[in-house]
Structure 1
Amino acid sequence: MTPDPDSFLALARSSPWRWTTLHLAHRSGFAGACEAWIRRPGALLVRDSEGRWHRESGLPYTRGTLMVFTAEGTPPPDPVPEHTSVLPHQIAPPLRADGLVEWRPERLDLDYDDPMYTNYSWVAMLDPVELSHHVAVDRLRTDVVADRPAWRADLRALPGYDPRCGGNCCELLYSEAGMRADLDEDEEVPPSWRGRSYPDHYDVALDVQTGVVVRCLPVGGPDDAPWLENDILEVDADLDDLFDGPGTS
């Protein structure tokens, strides 16, 4: 299939429905070099460059509890039911003719995120929905990354870019638009941040089978701009023995 910009954006929003387990070799400025295994929903094992194992599970954030107090003599309200998560694979999204997701269901009880390692860029690379809108897609082409088909393009974040974690913290596309996603008023921007230098664009490759970001490399800009690379080694392999067996805790 020859991609066009719309299909690239659709692939970026499709990851939750395109794979269940993943084994990859990762390199980035934020996590260094490591090997990772992900089993959806909610299980992650990472072996870092020194051979240490890290196990993460669940969502990369917590939920608050609402407590209601009433005046004396007033009947208390019905108890608030505990939150019950709905996972993406339990919902069938509307699909395009090419099998990619047309739009993602949005519900308060629907939890998309995979477990986090180091920072939210990890979460975003596994489900790069932030690249599915408010980005300019240029020089789109097919490519091969780690012996796997990929769609590759030059991406620029546009006003309205909505990263998983913005404010120049963990967005995939380090940019003025990424900063403004969390700091939209001029007075909110620290003086030392004003006039920051950013990459001209990012060279981004998405793995066609999974929708995962396999290359996200800054072009131009500061030498310390965020970057990441993933080499996908296995998709949908049986990882139960690895996660449930001894020796990786």
Structure 2
Amino acid sequence: MSTSGGVTEADFRALARSSPWLWDTISFTASWTGPHAGGPVRAWIERPNRMRVEDLAGKVLKETDADPRPATTMFTSDSSGWSPVPAPGLAPHSAPVASPPPPTEPRRRSDGLVAERLGYLFDHDAPMYQNYHWVAMLDPRELTDGADLDAVELDERDPDGTSMETVRTVDHHGRSAWEAVLRPTRFYDPRCSCCALLNCAEAAEEYLRPDEPRQVGGYATWFLVRLDVGTGICVSTQELDGPHAGAGHEVRIETVDAPVRARPGR
């Protein structure tokens, strides 16, 4: 793997985990080609649950204040830590063990980026527009952390979901971004396999039955990906091979942590 501008693979992976802790409000335009193709949009988001999406002519396509991820899981605790299942010796309907609240913060590096995320059950997604590709674009942890379904120990470190080459610093519409060439591994763990950030065979195998047809001509195996340094958002993906080489998405960030613009009449 080659690097440029002082950024390393570990830096890129940490940034891919960090988006939920790097911004509170955002406005941007986004466009897609390939499997998620559609008209370009402009969006305003305020974490955790406010969002407005418009077409470029100003027509509102979606607006929500709804909680995107209501808490539904009871957590119990034992000496080994928090778990979404009853601790050993605790019946499912027994009173929970008295203990402090479950963790809410990930383990961070000295620079503030995230070294290790809590499990998906602790995540609070940004509001969704159309599909989970949108959510993963705003919180691209799937570009680094994979899932080993054969792991025996619950606290065993998850393997990398991607291998990485050519990490470098680039300019993306006037903002600093880290760019890398990624190849999904067999541990690639997309937020939703039918609308993964990386449209690859590994994701398709997860959601397609053995008798369902695969993409004609196969899938890309290499992807050029950019993360915005200030927010951790995945601002660009591009398939580098396969039948749809060049397909992907593009985000142009306009404002960060500015007040969400009110609609006329409000």
TM-score, normalised via structure 1 length:
0.78
Report the residue type matching 1:154 in the other structure.
V
Report the residue type matching 1:41 in the other structure.
P
2:203 corresponds to which of 159, 165, 178:
178
**Equivalent residue number for residue 106 of structure 2:** 93
Unaligned runs of 5+ in 1: 66-76, 81-85
**Equivalent residue number for residue 115 of structure 2:** 102
Report the residue type matching 1:189 in the other structure.
P
| Corresponding residue SS for 2:125 | coil
Distance 1:225 1:165 in 2: 22
CA offsets 1:32-62 (integer angstroms, 9 cap, x no match) = 2111111001111111134211203445578
Which moves more between the two structures, 16-25 or 90-99? Answer: 90-99
| Corresponding residue SS for 1:233 | strand
Distance 1:63 1:37 in 2: 24
- The answer as to whether partners of 1:174 and 1:225 remain within 8 angstroms in 2 is no
Q: Once the 2 structures are TM-superposed, how far is the Cα of residue 63 of structure 1 from its aligned partner?
A: 8.2
Distance 1:195 1:49 in 2: 32
1:23 corresponds to which of 27, 47, 50:
27
Q: Once the 2 structures are TM-superposed, how far is the Cα of residue 91 of structure 1 from its aligned partner?
A: 3.0
Point out 4+ residue stretches in structure 1 off by more than 3 angstroms: 57-65, 245-248
Unaligned runs of 5+ in 2: 74-91, 96-100, 146-160
Q: Does 1:137 align with 2:164?
A: yes
Q: Does 1:198 align with 2:219?
A: yes
Q: Once the 2 structures are TM-superposed, how far is the Cα of residue 189 of structure 1 from its aligned partner?
A: 2.4
Change (3 A) 1:118 1:224: farther
Give matches, 1:157-168, under 5 Å: 157-166=184-193
Q: CA RMSD in A?
A: 3.2
**Equivalent residue number for residue 148 of structure 2:** none
- The answer as to whether partners of 1:23 and 1:233 remain within 8 angstroms in 2 is yes
**Equivalent residue number for residue 152 of structure 1:** 179
Aligned length: 222
| Corresponding residue SS for 2:135 | helix
- The answer as to whether partners of 1:198 and 1:225 remain within 8 angstroms in 2 is no
| Corresponding residue SS for 1:159 | coil
CA offsets 1:76-115 (integer angstroms, 9 cap, x no match) = x98x9xxxxx9xxx9332211222101112374x342111
2:59 corresponds to which of 49, 52, 61:
52
Change (3 A) 1:233 1:112: same
Change (3 A) 1:194 1:211: closer
2:48 corresponds to which of 41, 55, 58:
41
